[in-house]
Amino acid sequence: MIIINFIMVFNQTLVLFLLLMVGFTIRRLEIVDDSLKQNLTNLIIYVTLPALLIDSMSYQFSLERLTQLGSVFINAVLVYLLMIIISYIVIHFLSVEQRFKDVYQFILIFGNVGFMGYPVIEVVYGSTEGIFLAAIYNLVFHLVLWTLGIMIMSRSQENGQNLSLQGLLNPGVISITVGFLLFIFSIELPKPITYSLEMLGETTTPLSMIVVGSILAQVQIKDIIYNSKLWLITLIRLLILPLTTLLILQNFNLDRLILGVVVILTAMPAAANTAIFAQEFGGDEALASEGVFLTTLLSIFTIPLIVYLL
180-188 mean pLDDT: 85
Buried/exposed 95-112: b ≥16 CB within 10 Å, e otherwise: eeeebbbbbbbbbbbbbb
116-129 mean pLDDT: 73
* pTM metric for this prediction: 0.80
* Cα 217 from Cα 234, distance rounded (Å): 21
pLDDT at residue 194 greater than cutoff 80: yes
The percent of residues above 70 in pLDDT, for the chain, comes to 92
Mean of all residue pLDDT scores within the chain:
84
pLDDT score of 109: 97
**Tens-place pLDDT, residues 75-105:** 999 999 999 999 999 999 998 888 899 999 9
pLDDT at residue 164 greater than cutoff 80: no
* DSSP track, 95-161: -S-HHHHHHHHHHHH-B-TTTTHHHHHHHHH-SHHHHHHHHHHHHHHHHHIIIIIHHHHTTTSTT--
- Cβ 109 vs Cβ 84: under 8 Å: yes
Domains of the chain: 2-309 (1.20.1530.20)
pLDDT score of 155: 83
165-189 mean pLDDT: 79
